[in-house]
Structure 1
Amino acid sequence: MNFFSSKKQSSVAIVGALMITLGVERSAVGATFNPAPLFESAVSYSTNIPRTDGGVDSTDIYYPVLSSTQNQQNSLPIALLLQGALVDKSDYSTFANTVARYGFVVVVPNHLRTAISPTGAVTGLIAEQQQVNDVLTYIQTEKSTPSSPIANSLDPSTLVLLGHSFGGSVGIAAIQGQCFPTLCTGNFTRPKELKAGVFYGTNFRIGQSSGGLPIIDNDGIPIALVQGNRDGVANPANAQETYAGIQDPPKAFITIPGANHYGITNEDNLIRETVRPTINQDVAIETIARWSALFLRGTALNDKNSLDYVFNTDDTLDQKVSVESVVKPIPEYTSVVSLLVLGVIGASSLNRKKQKLVKNKVLKF
């Protein structure tokens, strides 16, 4: 009886100690991590990106300003921002600048085309899937162009997507690696460099025919949907349905209370959005940019602190949002738990040996 009590106490003590240690380490990350941008400022320049169809896209590119003590050579991934339908690239300048300060080169093209939808043809600024490969090809060229202001900072092996409204639907389609009607023209092949995507005010019913629950075959590529609960253009219920259809984690659904469909743009759109926001526009932009950037850093760049902020501490540190998420087990955490189990087994084995030794001594007497 005493032996079993002793073994149980020792095992519990070890488990308790290790779990306390784990708890302290995980809490310390949440308590000490600063979710603010990594860089104090970002700048931009304008260029033209060649298109597969022979045209060009007028484009703004944002990148962080490095201080004398910062060396980010060959380390900045590419973030392509796919615009909402008929929304000019300049309307995303504040959002793009903020995301760039988290360590991304943010590419914002104006993509003019005619899209054929079930309701007819529409001509204007309308994103499409081919932009993913066109932008990647251009960035790879920039990498080898000494005169480019970002040549020495680029990591063209990592591409992530940002998107607004229709552009978000294009991003979701691109992640699935198929050419979807209205969202794509010609053929599309998903590049191996595409690692994650975050989309605001979007769902996979935009630009698509109605039907049952949309199934998002994301092939393990992380997706986050960020949604204002006052969105009068893209129904939040459709976004929630799209989130449920994402097959593979990591995934997250981040709600911004008080934000409407244009919470991501520099100004609200009084013509195309009938519902007014109850959150300050600057606050909405900063919140959307922060959660988008941290999701991308955590999932695509393996930034453990960012991953912990989004999936573990989540909205407890930001009362402006609510978060629903699913994440795969972190390998390091799984390994620690395995060691914990081995430690318990080892402790039990040691106690059995001690008990056997004591028993043998008693028999000798």
Structure 2
Amino acid sequence: MRNRRARLLIPLLALVAALFAVPAPASASTATTVAMYQTSYGGDDADIYYPSGASDLPVALLLQGAKVDRSYYAQYASAIAAQGFVVVVPNHYRLMFVETERYAAEHQVTRTVTWMKDEKYNSSSPLYKRIDSGKLVLLGHSFGGAAGLAAAEDTCSLVFCPALSFSLPSQVKAASFYGTNNGFLGIFADIDNKVPVQLVQGTADGIAPQSDAEKTYSHLLNTPRQIVRVAGVNHYGITDVQSPSPAESETSAQSLTQSESIEVAARWAGRFLLAQLGDAGAADYVWNIGDASDPGVTVTGAP
């Protein structure tokens, strides 16, 4: 049920120009305008970003980092949407560590499947008959990425599964997580991922270190899998600002500007997800030519 809706166009300007300054997959547009509205579903308020005029759109659910408000992902979500996705960014509050705060959970995935089916046939929605309700991909930041990893493994992990049950919907096709690892007290368990998984990691991350992401990547059991290392970027490389309050503060500085780090991270995440949905140009980029044309990025992967 919607409690508010404010349709507004979000000009991407320099962000979108930068996004497509490098070779683009065949499905990408060089002049994409992204629109946004606000809604609520499953008890969560959410921001919805989508490319104006496009149809048959897959949905990308962005699982927020711990205590990071959805509003801080506006630029990143817009950059993903510009590549051909409906991007859903909910605020999910729940009891965690003796406080009720914004913490992602696995059941957001199944709730989003329900929402996308309903929204497709909601005649009052800007996305009426424009959603491909059979295709959902996952994005995640930090804690949200860890919740997404558990979901991608089709397991109910106690920390991320307060509903005490979870079954990975068939609509989920791939996942890309930023600043994410599955380390717990120095232990990194194997991840029997049921869908392709990409990790995007800043080399200057002072909260979720690169070394932990590397160990997590090594424990992904199934292909396709990929880790993208972005030089000089820290834990908040995809948020609109550094250390968005009240989230944990980052002490490691970025050498890239915020708009630069968002552009790089969104480009690699979006193209990896497009590749898993059958985009040949995106696949060529993420597996063959992308790292050679991007001097700040190194990639390891298995298609």
TM category, shorter: 0.7 to 0.9
Report what 1:187 is aligned to: 165
Q: Secondary structure at the match of 2:98?
A: strand
Question: Counterpart of 2:202?
Answer: 228
Matches for 1:67-106 after TM superposition, within 5 Å: 72-73=54-55, 75-106=56-87
Contact persistence 1:294–1:307 (CA under 8 A): yes
Point out 4+ residue stretches in structure 1 off by more than 4 angstroms. none
Please state how far the C-alpha of 1:35 moved relative to its aligned partner: 4.9
Q: Once the two structures are superposed, what CA deviation does each residue of 1:86-133 show, in whole Å capped at 9, x if it has no partner?
A: 000000000001100100000000001112xxxx42320000000000
Shift of 1:181: 1.3
2:291 aligned residue: 315
Deviations along 1:46-85, one digit per CA (max 9) or x if unpaired, are 00112xxxxx10100000012xxxxx43x10010000000
CA drift of 1:273 comes to 0.5
| Greater strand proportion | 2
Are 1:33 and 1:305, in contact at CA under 8 Å, matched by a contact in 2?
A: no
Structure 1 CA distance, aligned partners of 2:221 and 2:140?
A: 20
Aligned 1:296-335 pairs, distance under 5 A: 296-299=273-276, 301-327=277-303
Which string of whole-angstrom CA distances, capped at 9 and with x for unpartnered residues, describes residues 311-351 of structure 1? 11131011121111111xxxxxxxxxxxxxxxxxxxxxxxx
Larger-gyration structure (1/2) = 1
2:48 equivalent in structure 1: 61
Aligned residue for 1:165? 142
Q: For residue 28 of structure 1, what is the aligned residue in structure 2?
A: none
Distance in 2 separating the partners of 1:194 and 1:124: 26
* Contact kept? 2:229, 2:297, Cα under 8 Å: yes
2:38 to 37, 46, 51: 46
Please give the alpha-carbon distance, in whole angstroms, between the structure 2 residues aligned to 1:211 and 1:258. Answer: 25
Residue 123 of structure 1: aligned partner: 100
Structure showing the higher helix proportion among its residues: 1
Q: 1:217 aligns with which of 182, 192, 199?
A: 192
- The correspondence for 1:281, drawn from 250, 258, 266, is 258
The 1-side partners of 2:280 and 2:25 are apart by 12
TM-score (norm 2): 0.88
Q: Match of 2:177?
A: 199
Question: Aligned residue for 2:15?
Answer: none
Aligned to 2:3: none
Query: Per the alignment, in what secondary structure is the counterpart of residue 138 of structure 2?
Result: strand
> How much does 1:213 deviate?
3.3
Question: Where does structure 1 lack aligned partners over 5 or more consecutive residues?
Answer: 1-31, 51-55, 67-71, 328-365
| Letter in structure 1 aligned against 2:49 | Y
Shift of 1:33: 4.6
The gaps in structure 2 that reach 5 residues or longer are 1-21
Query: Could you tell me whether the CA contact under 8 Å between 1:111 and 1:126 is conserved in 2?
Result: yes
CA 1:133–1:156 in structure 2 vs 1: closer, same or farther (change >3 Å)?
same
Matched length:
276
CA contact (8 A) 2:25 2:279 kept: no
Displacement of 1:217 in angstroms is: 0.3
What does residue 34 of structure 1 align with?
24
* 8 Å CA contact retained: 1:225, 1:239: yes
Amino acid at match of 2:266: A
Instruction: Look up the match of 1:352.
Output: none
Amino acid of the residue matched to residue 218 of structure 2?
A
Conserved? CA contact 2:24–2:282, under 8 Å: no
- Asked whether the 8 Å contact 1:35–1:290 carries over to 2, the reply is no
- In the TM superposition, what whole-angstrom CA distance separates every residue of 1:208-244 from its partner, at most 9, and x where no partner exists? x42543201013x110000000100002111100001
- Aligned partner (choices 236, 240, 263) of residue 262 of structure 1: 236
Q: Does 1:238 align with 2:230?
A: no
Does the 8 Å contact 1:202/1:234 carry over to 2?
A: yes
Contact persistence 1:214–1:241 (CA under 8 A): no
Give the alignment's Cα RMSD to 1 decimal: 1.6
| Whole-angstrom distance in 2 between the partners of 1:312 and 1:269 | 34
2: distance between equivalents of 1:204 and 1:313?
A: 29
Identity of matched residues, %: 41
Query: What TM-score, normalized by structure 1, do the two folds share?
Result: 0.73
